[in-house]
Copies of this chain bind each other. A is one copy, B any other.
Amino acid sequence: MSIRIGIMGYGNLGRGVECAVKQNPDMEVVAVFTRRDPKALSILTEGAEVCHVDEAEAWKDKIDVMILCGGSATDLPKQTPKYAKLFNVVDSFDTHAKIPEHFANVDKAAKESGKLGIISVGWDPGMFSLNRMYANAILPEGRDYTFWGKGVSQGHSDAIRRIEGVKNAKQYTIPVESALEAVRGGENPELTTRQKHLRECFVVLEEGADPARIENEIKTMPNYFADYDTTVHFISEEELLREHSGIPHGGFVIRSGKTGWNQENNNVIEYSLKLDSNPEFTACVIAAYARAAYKLSLEGQSGCRTVLDIAPAYLSAKSNDELRRELL
């Protein structure tokens, strides 16, 4: 029997989870939960039901893992502890500074219910965290670098859209190639914010809006753009939709460290992602950890976990024997 998956929230990430589950023959989506009118929502999976979030409790014994696809700002801090009382859960909570608090809340709820919760699953936090951790444990005398991109930053795109006179916008975060090369070369450079990433913006103006004023507002926006070299392109709405409607992303986690009695040798560990679809890839990571949540729960484990706490083999549909034979 396959692992029965519920999806809570049907935005980009929820749809991504639906696609990811399709690729895993040992799992099936049995229900999608929405705050909208379920009749108005059409999903892709044949045979899966669309339900209102208020009906979730009735699925208590019909779902093995509930995947929470809401946002980290307001949805997940409430949803993950709430649903951990009913289900094994996986979320992609990504507010790095609040992870310890979120962990404690989910751990308490999941221990009380005897369920298993895995939080902060995706690629950062997620696979990038994992690679930072492995690389730090292996090369204690070294230095970490994380670069993001090239990819669309939703937060920065939204910030531009809030400027008066902007009709639509997309912002790309781009790692500075020369900084990447210096890090790969083992030079262990000190890099400022500006030296690590560029920001490139594609902006559609409202009729009559002043491009000079808007370009200046973008480039001087504190936190978002002021500390970066930022390029602004004004384009038509057609071009924006035609050329910039994807959600690519990616990045690099690099650790450069010394070995040898006198630290005479340098070694570089690099992990990188190049993703056509940020939410679909995040969803694929989540699907693999949903399998882990299911397996851990079958073993009788409960409480909260992160990617750092879970042995890799739990992610695979293959047996440990097969994994040793085929992948080791």
Q: A residues engaging B (CB < 8 A)?
A: 16, 18-20, 22-24, 44, 96, 99-100, 103, 120, 125, 127, 129-134, 136-141, 184, 186, 259-261, 265-277, 280-281, 283-285, 288, 291, 306-313, 315-317, 320-321, 323-325, 327-328
Contacts and interface: CB of A to CB of B under 8 A. Distances in A.
**7 A-B pairs with least C-beta separation:** A265-B276, A137-B315, A259-B280, A265-B277, A137-B288, A268-B274, A129-B328
Interface of A is mostly: helix
Nearest to A257: B284
A191 B271 CA distance: 23
Most-contacted residue by chain B among A132, A138, A273 (CB, 10 A): A138
A133 B316 contact: yes
B273 A328 contact: no
Contacts of A125: 328
Contacts of A312: 130, 133-134, 137, 307-310
| Integer count of this chain's copies in the complex | 2
A138 B288 contact: yes
A171 B324 CA distance: 30
Contacts of A288: 137-138
A299 to B, nearest CB: 13
Contact of A141 (B23, B141, B317): B23
Contacts of A136: 316, 327
